Amino acid sequence: MNANMTLILDKIKAYSNIIIFRHKRPDGDCTGATKGLHQILRLTYPEKSVLLSNTDFCEYVSFLGEENSPLPDAAFADALGIVIDTATADRISDQRFSLCRELIKIDHHINVDPYAPLEWVEEERSSACEMIAAFYDAFRDELKMDEIAATCIYTGMVTDSGRFRFRSVSGDTMRLAGMLLDCGIDTDRLYANLYMKDFNALQFQAYMLGRIKRTENGVAYLHVTRAMQEKFALSFEQACASVSYMDAIRGSLIWIAFIDCEDGSIRVRLRSRFVTVNEIASKYHGGGHACASGATVANRAEMRRLLADADARLGAFKQGTEGWL
Ligand code: AMP
C-alpha cells in the first residue's frame, strides 16, 4: 500500500469541510472517481460537509446521476481540497481550488506538475477509479461503500481501461473490479447506457468512416468541422467521440481526431498502440498518457505540422520495430 494513502485518510478525518475537484472536460473515469469518492465520504462521514465541484460534467456517463449546482466562494476557505485524475493545476476545472486550506492530488497520469503538498500518484494504474477502489479496499473497515458509489467507480474503470483491454489492466484491477461487482452493480443497465447511441450519432459515424484519411506511414486521422457538427446536430462531446472510429485499422498504430471548437481552435485527440504519442501532444499544448493524449492546435497549418510529426514518429517506429501490425 502507498504510504500516502494513510496520510490522505488522516486528512479526510481531520477536516469537516471537504471539496472534491475534477479536470476540465471530465471523462467517464474522472466523473466516476469524483462521484464515487464523494458518495463514499458522504456515507462514511454524514456529519461532514463533502462537496463536489462539478459544473464541468461528462454527457456519456450522465446516467450516473445529477451533478451539483455551482459552489459559493465561501465554501472553500476552511476546506480540504481533493483533486482527482488531473495532472496539472491549470486543468483543474474549478480554479478556486487555490482557496482551499490544504490540497491533495490523487492521479494516475505522468506527474509533470506536483501541485499539491500531499499526493498519491500511481502512473501504472489503469484508471483513477481503480485508485479510489484501492483506497476503499485499503480502509474497508472504516469506509462505507454502496451500490451507487460502486457503480460510479466501476464505470470509470470500464471506460478508462477500454473495457479492461488496455495493458495497464493488472490482476489488481480485476480483483478490485470484482470487489465492486459484489456490491450489486447492474451491468445490463451500465452497458446499455455506454453502448446505445442516438440515431444522429450513428449517421454521423457512417459519414465520418468515409472521410478517414491516412498519412504516408499510416497515421489515421479525421477532421470534424463546425459545419459537420451542425449538419448532424452533434454535441461537442459526440463529435469528439469520433476518435474511436479509427481504433482498429491495420498498420495505423497512431490515430488522431481533430475537432473544431467554437473559439476557432482545434481539439486534438491522439491514440496509439505500441508506439507512444504523449510527447507529440506535449509539443502542441497538451499531454496525457503514453497511448492516449490530448492537445490543441490553433489552425490547419499547425494541424498539418502535428500530423507530420506523428507520421515521422510512426515511420521511425515501424522501421525500428519487428512485428508491428
Ligand atoms: P482526451 O483525448 O482529451 O480524452 O485526452 C486523453 C488523455 O490525455 C486524458 O487522460 C487527458 O486527461 C489527457 N489530456 C488531454 N488534454 C490534455 C492537456 N491539454 N494536457 C495534459 N493532458 C491532457
Instruction: Kindly report, residue by residue over 226-239, the tens digit of the pLDDT.
Output: 999 999 999 999 99
* Ligand 1 centroid from CA 84, angstroms: 14
| CA 283 to ligand 1 centroid distance, Å | 13
CA of 159 to the centre of ligand 1 (A): 15
State the pLDDT at residue 322.
Answer: 79
- Going from the Cα of 286 to the center of ligand 1, the distance in angstroms, rounded, reads 7
pLDDT in tens, 54-77: 989 999 999 999 987 899 999 999
Give residue ranges with CB within 6 A of ligand 1: 27, 87, 91, 269, 286-289, 292-294
Do residues 82 and 59 make contact, with C-beta atoms less than 8 angstroms apart? Answer: no
Atom of ligand 1 nearest to the CA of 296: 19
Residue nearest to atom 18 of ligand 1 (CA): 286
The more confidently predicted of residues 323 and 11 is 11
Q: Which residue from 61, 222, 261, 293 has its CB within 8 A of the most atoms of ligand 1, so it is best to mutate?
A: 293
Ligand 1 mean position, distance from CA 140 (Å):
31
pLDDT of residue 69: 81
Q: Where are the alpha helices (DSSP H) in the chain?
A: 3-14, 28-44, 128-138, 147-160, 171-181, 187-195, 199-209, 226-231, 236-240, 278-283, 300-320
Q: How confident is the model at residue 158 (pLDDT cuts 50, 70, 90)?
A: very high
CA 140 to CA 39: how far, in whole Å? Answer: 14
Q: What is the residue with the minimal CA distance to atom 10 of ligand 1?
A: 288
pLDDT at site 19: 98
- Helix/strand/coil for 103: strand
The grid coordinates listed for 149 are 458509489
Q: How far is CA 307 from CA 71, 107, 208, in A?
A: 41, 29, 18
Query: For 209-222, what is the mean pLDDT?
Result: 98
Tell the residue nearest (CA) to atom 11 of ligand 1: 288
Asked if the model's pLDDT at residue 325 lies above 80, the reply is: no
> Is the overall model pTM greater than 0.85, yes or no?
yes
